[in-house]
Structure 1
Amino acid sequence: MADGECPKKGQRLLPKVIFGICEILPRVDVRAAYSWYYYRPFLLWAITTGLFVKFAYVRFFTRLGWSRCAIVDVTMNAVSSLLNHIAVPAAYLAWALPRLALNQAFGTDDADPVNWVALLLLMALISAISDALVLHFVFSQRLGQKWFWLLYVVNTMCVAAAACGMYFFLVAHPPTA
């Protein structure tokens, strides 16, 4: 390649992706809200919403008695809450490369709503998988594909309520740097 010649598009993309990966952690966007100070309100909203919405799902899906549904509901929420300590960073890491490609292709930023929505949808998927595993292995309830996707919608509603609650908390208590 001559001095004034521009490298091919694919040759320019690899360094940009590598530099983009290196920029994942130092930036302040999702990770600023993922601190214990802001994570507690997120869990509060997620657990509160989850207890009510998942109870209705379990009652409709399993046709168990009220007390048994409450036990299943509390167990599913406890496992989901514990798994959220792993789900948030896992969702962020799973979205890292698609996020870089999206940011590169459309000129978006890490703080754009599409990145937040994608993270919330991944978190809901991880929670739905954990709830399905609890139903299957702990309570011997088999889920079909239709019921799993309904569980995903239920978890999406819980995560959306938690995200709204965290947004209101962030507005009331803005981060200081």
Structure 2
Amino acid sequence: MRKLFIIAIILFPPVVYANVVWPALYLEIRLFSWWAIGLGLLVEFFYVKWLFALSVKRSAIADLSANAASSIAGILLIPLAGIAWEFFPASIYQQAFDWGTFNPVTWVATFILGCFINAVIEGAVYKKWFAPHFRYKSREFLWLLVANAISVGAAYISFLIVPLKA
């Protein structure tokens, strides 16, 4: 694992990112703000308690575990999903409309990708350790998407409160 990390640093040094920015990078920063984390934990705690019928203590542990896993994996996956979006399909419609990276379609796609990535990772944690009956093709997963949409939505609302600075 350490070798893989060193190879990644060599291949993708932070200096490379200095002139390349896309919405997923901004979202990533806002998702790690204390209030977005707090809101996400609170909303998902009630979701876990209600949907999986766990005790308060077990719901809190499940919520913290799932969110820790999605945060750690999301550090890499959300920006990667954003850059993948930029290569395809964004490159097609951006050229057609003569738009740059920061356009409404990309912002909506980034929101959806952020919610989906978090929900998939959290769902895996719930299924493995807390709710073995959990299925991705179920109403439980849709509710998990809704819960994640609230926390990702909070990160988006922060762009209105504290706008990006150029």
* TM-score, structure 1 as length reference: 0.71
Structure 1 residue 43 corresponds to structure 2 residue 36: no
Local SS of the residue matching 1:148: helix
2:149 matches 1:160: no
Match among 143, 147, 157 for residue 150 of structure 1: 143
> Superposition pairs for residues 2-151 of structure 1, below 5 Å?
26-30=19-23, 33=26, 39=29, 41-44=30-33, 45-96=35-86, 97-144=88-135, 145-151=138-144
Residue 31 of structure 2 aligns with an amino acid whose one-letter code is F
* Higher gyration radius (CA): 1
Identity in percent: 30
Q: In structure 2, what is the Cα distance between the partners aligned to 1:32 and 1:62?
A: 33
CA distance in 1, matches of 2:25, 2:85: 17
Q: In structure 2, how many angstroms separate the alpha carbons of the residues matched to 1:32 and 1:162?
A: 12
Asked if the contact 1:128–1:148 (Cα under 8 Å) also holds between the matched residues in 2, the reply is yes
Is there any run of 5+ residues in structure 1 with no aligned partner, and where?
A: 1-24
Deviations 1:49-85 (A, max 9, x none): 2111101110111111111111111111111211221
The residue type paired with residue 46 of structure 2 is A
Amino acid corresponding to residue 93 of structure 2 in structure 1: L
Question: Offset of 1:126 from its aligned partner?
Answer: 0.5
Q: Which runs of 5+ in 2 are unaligned?
A: 1-17
Paired residues, number: 146
Against the structure 1 CA distance between its residues 79 and 46, is the aligned structure 2 distance closer, same or farther, given a 3 Å change threshold?
Answer: farther
RMSD of aligned Cα (Å): 2.5
Structure 2 CA distance for partners of 1:32 and 1:79, relative to 1, 3 Å: closer
Aligned residue number for residue 21 of structure 1: none
Separation in 2, partners of 1:118, 1:31: 9
Answer whether contact 1:47 1:81 (CA < 8 A) is retained. Answer: no
Give the equivalent residue in structure 2 for 1:17.
Answer: none
- TM-score for the superposition, normalised by structure 2: 0.75
Shift of 1:87: 2.4
